């Protein structure tokens, strides 16, 4: 049973994703997605609410496909496991002294990313890969991936 909640968000990519490699050799990517509510005010004008930012992480084939397919500004739908990653920020306080704060970043791990086709047209292109094993199954990837194969 997963300890993290599964979440789906609709938003826009905030930066170009890049492919990185962990010390173990696993390829991965991360990028930011911003989303906000919109509503009409009393005058009928659209109003944007505050933006909520998520860091999105994906591994191996998903990471390669994300890097090849999306750019800053792309409208996306993202589904994955929600978690919090702590980070430290040092800023100048009101008295001019440095203040260190522990903050939490909202992260969507093991993400499945789709381009939101509500307002864009994207031609699809199938990708074929040769299976490394003779049984025709793809190699097992990140164990957090619910679609990886366990023999």
- What residue segments make up the domains of the chain, in order of their start? 6-115
Mind listing the pLDDT tens digit for each residue in 98-114?
A: 999 999 999 999 889 99
- Write out the two tokens for 45: 């004008």
pTM to 2 decimal places: 0.72
Mind listing the pLDDT tens digit for each residue in 32-51?
A: 999 999 899 999 999 999 99
Mind listing the pLDDT tens digit for each residue in 49-93?
A: 999 999 999 999 999 999 999 999 999 999 999 999 998 999 999
The class of domain 6-115 in CATH terms is: mainly beta
Position 4 scores a pLDDT of: 67
**Cα separations (Å) of 144 from 102, 111, 134?**
27, 10, 24
């Amino acid at each position: 049973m997963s300890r993290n909640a599964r979440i789906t968000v609709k938003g826009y990519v905030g930066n170009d994703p890049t492919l990185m490699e962990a010390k173990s050799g696993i390829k991965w990517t991360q990028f930011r997605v911003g989303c906000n509510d919109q509503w009409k005010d009393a005058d009928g004008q659209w109003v944007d609410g505050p933006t909520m930012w998520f860091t999105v992480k994906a591994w191996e084939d998903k990471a390669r496909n994300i890097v090849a397919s999306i750019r800053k500004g792309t409208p996306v739908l993202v589904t994955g496991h929600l978690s919090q990653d702590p980070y430290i920020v040092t800023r100048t306080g009101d008295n001019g002294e440095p203040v260190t704060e522990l903050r939490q970043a909202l992260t969507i791990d093991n993400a499945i990313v789709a381009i939101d086709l509500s307002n864009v047209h994207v031609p699809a292109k199938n990708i074929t890969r040769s299976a490394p094993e003779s049984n025709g199954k793809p190699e097992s990837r990140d164990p957090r991936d619910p679609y990886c194969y366990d023999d």
